[in-house]
Chains A and B, each alone.
Chain A
Amino acid sequence: MHLALFIIFGLMCLGGAVNLLLQRHPINSALSLIVVMSSLAVLYLLLGAEFLALAQIIVYSGAIMVLFVFVIMLLNAGEEERTHGSRAAYLAGIPGVMALFAVLTSTFFTLRTSFGSARLGGFLVTTQDLSRVLFRNLLLPFEVTSILILVAILGAVVLAGKER
């Protein structure tokens, strides 16, 4: 059951990602990204991270992607032109991607014993467990991140205010 769900949503996630690149219209790409993020949420849920799954839906699929779609609608962006791309991208890009893929694969294979294992549907991380770790063991990084976000918001306000 868990494996079937994993395969279905893993394929949906990959399909969405490929579609995101192939679509020419920005709104179709944005919708594919929503599919990717929502199926990632289901994968988190299969790994027992229920809070993370719903946070993914609310924050990424619900809030950030709505802003993407909103901006695309507001600018009324049209279809992009299909170009052949630069020669350099073909010459350097494809070998580069293949090399990166090879490095990642070999790293994962050599280190797979020390990664430990996570079984599908084997356990559940409740919201209490998560918040205990977040607010006791990882309190400092958490607070520093929130200050970082605050600074980013202030920066955005300053940049937007300069226009006037």
Chain B
Amino acid sequence: MNVLVFILLSLLKVAVVTVIFLTAVAYTVLLERKLVGRIQNRWGPSRVGPFGLLQPLADGIKLFLKEDLMPDEVARPLFILAPIIALSCALISIGVIPFGENIRWHGVDMFQIADLNIGLLVILGVTSIGVYGIALSGWSSNNKYSLLGSLRSTAQMISYELALGLSVIGVVLRTGSLRLRDIVNVQNTHGILSWNIFGGLQLIAFFIYLTAAFAETNRTPFDLPEAESELTAGYHTEYSSMKFAMFFMAEYANMINVGCVATLLFLGGWSSPFGNLLPAFGGPLVQALLPVFWFVAKVFCFLFLYVWVRGTLPRFRYDQLMGFGWKFLLPLAIANVMVSSLALAFRG
């Protein structure tokens, strides 16, 4: 493999994926506003462009042009570092996620930036580092609401990370590998029947993952870190302009990441739900892009679920949140690991 070609193609991949990812983040915000609007029987944004489709662009320009206020008493280096940590950790995870079949062009995998043996662990590791963004933002703001918000958020993330980590063990046991491509390849033999959620009997693990992921991304019904009624805006109270936008983007980028990981681990990744029932049609290009379509469709369903839950469920009380995490999700996750490993050992 030519080194120069490798470097150029890798840079191209990174650029394309980053641009698509950031656009997806912007349009997830619009999707949320539109859907929540419909759930609440109103229109949502509809003025900028056709059907309000240019709203993210207008929001972006607005946030860029706003004055960047920095209060006097903040711990300046950490105050600036915090949103950078939050956003960069949210953007790194996408680098190990495979979007489609392993199709090589000049010896370079076209649908994944980096294929690592320990891809799943990288995602968990990056998620656990991302906590610092929120923790430091609250502390460095020198504001009681920010500090309370970030304390809540940190405690919540530590508690639910355990359940999150344990919920994926069943999937790893079934695959026998931490490589994300291997995890998907196990699931793409008989379409929807061999997905981990049904064929791998990981329905409970999926539920645990889903709940823990909602808590990890600070989304309703676990959005206590930014509970408006008690904490003004939580950890990002003192942030304005692009620094606020970075937190905002990090939250939505994390939603998409979680959706991608859930798709890969439980919903068969890029594999078609019909398996081989669907005849191969179109040329090789269509066949190469069809898996990407399935992947994106599944992630979209996941994002839809996110918004739907936000429009439906009220917020937890803080002690309920902790009790739910430690007394219900964690034992359930441990039981799931035991039952899954026993079943796998019994089957051979």
Which chain A residues have a beta carbon within 8 Å of chain B's beta carbons? 27, 31, 34, 38, 50-51, 54-55, 57-58, 61-63, 66-67, 69-70, 73-74, 76, 124, 126-127
CB-based contact A57/B151 at 8 Å: no
CB-based contact A58/B125 at 8 Å: yes
CB-based contact B125/A66 at 8 Å: no
| Distance A76 CA – B132 CA, assembled complex (angstroms) | 16
| Distance A74 CA – B155 CA, assembled complex (angstroms) | 11
Which size bracket describes the interface of B in this complex? 20 to 34
Give the residues from 113 to 162 in chain B that come closer than 8 angstroms, CB to CB, to chain A. 116-118, 121-122, 124-125, 127-129, 131-132, 135-136, 138-139, 147, 150-151, 154-155, 157-158, 161
Interface of B is mostly: helix
CB-based contact B121/A63 at 8 Å: no
Among A27, A51, A61, A124, contact of B129 (Cβ-Cβ < 8 Å): A61
Q: Which residues from A are CB-within-8-Å of B136?
A: 31, 69
CB-based contact B151/A74 at 8 Å: yes
A73-B147 CB under 8 A given contacts A57-B129, A127-B178:
yes
| Distance A127 CA – B172 CA, assembled complex (angstroms) | 12
CB-based contact A50/B117 at 8 Å: yes
Q: Which residues from B are CB-within-8-Å of A124?
A: 117
| Distance A62 CA – B136 CA, assembled complex (angstroms) | 14
A127-B128 CB under 8 A given contacts A70-B151, A73-B135, A73-B150:
no
Known: A66-B131, A66-B132, A70-B135. 17 other contacts (CB 8 A): A31-B78, A38-B129, A50-B118, A51-B118, A51-B121, A54-B122, A57-B129, A61-B125, A62-B129, A63-B158, A63-B161, A69-B132, A70-B158, A73-B135, A73-B150, A73-B151, A74-B151
- Chain A proximity mask over B308-331: 1 for CB below 8 Å, otherwise 0: 000000000000000000000000
CB-based contact A66/B139 at 8 Å: no
Question: Least Cβ distance of B174 to chain A in Å?
Answer: 15
CB-based contact B135/A66 at 8 Å: yes
CB-based contact B128/A69 at 8 Å: no
CB-based contact A126/B117 at 8 Å: yes
A70-B155 CB under 8 A given contacts A58-B128, A62-B125, A62-B129:
yes
Which chain B residues have a beta carbon within 8 Å of chain A's beta carbons? 78, 116-118, 121-122, 124-125, 127-129, 131-132, 135-136, 138-139, 147, 150-151, 154-155, 157-158, 161, 165, 178
CB-based contact A66/B154 at 8 Å: yes
Closest chain B residue to A50 by CB distance? B118
* Interchain Cβ contacts under 8 Å between A and B, 8 examples: A51-B118, A54-B125, A58-B121, A58-B165, A61-B125, A62-B125, A66-B158, A69-B154
CB-based contact B118/A73 at 8 Å: no
| Distance A31 CA – B178 CA, assembled complex (angstroms) | 29
Interface of A is mostly: helix
Question: Which among B125, B138, B161, B178 has the highest number of chain A CB atoms within 10 Å?
Answer: B125
Closest chain B residue to A59 by CB distance? B128
Q: Which residues from A are CB-within-8-Å of B154?
A: 66, 69-70, 73
CB-based contact A54/B121 at 8 Å: yes
Question: Least Cβ distance of A156 to chain B in Å?
Answer: 14
| Distance A13 CA – B128 CA, assembled complex (angstroms) | 20
Q: Which residues from A are CB-within-8-Å of B178?
A: 127
CB-based contact B139/A73 at 8 Å: yes
Question: Least Cβ distance of B11 to chain A in Å?
Answer: 17
Q: Which residues from B are CB-within-8-Å of A27?
A: 78, 139
| Distance A139 CA – B156 CA, assembled complex (angstroms) | 34
CB-based contact A69/B117 at 8 Å: no
| Distance A117 CA – B326 CA, assembled complex (angstroms) | 45
Closest chain A residue to B77 by CB distance? A28
Question: Which among A34, A38, A66 has the highest number of chain B CB atoms within 10 Å?
Answer: A66
Question: Least Cβ distance of A39 to chain B in Å?
Answer: 13
CB-based contact A34/B118 at 8 Å: no
Q: Which residues from A are CB-within-8-Å of B125?
A: 54, 57-58, 61-62
Question: Least Cβ distance of B85 to chain A in Å?
Answer: 10
Question: Least Cβ distance of B268 to chain A in Å?
Answer: 23
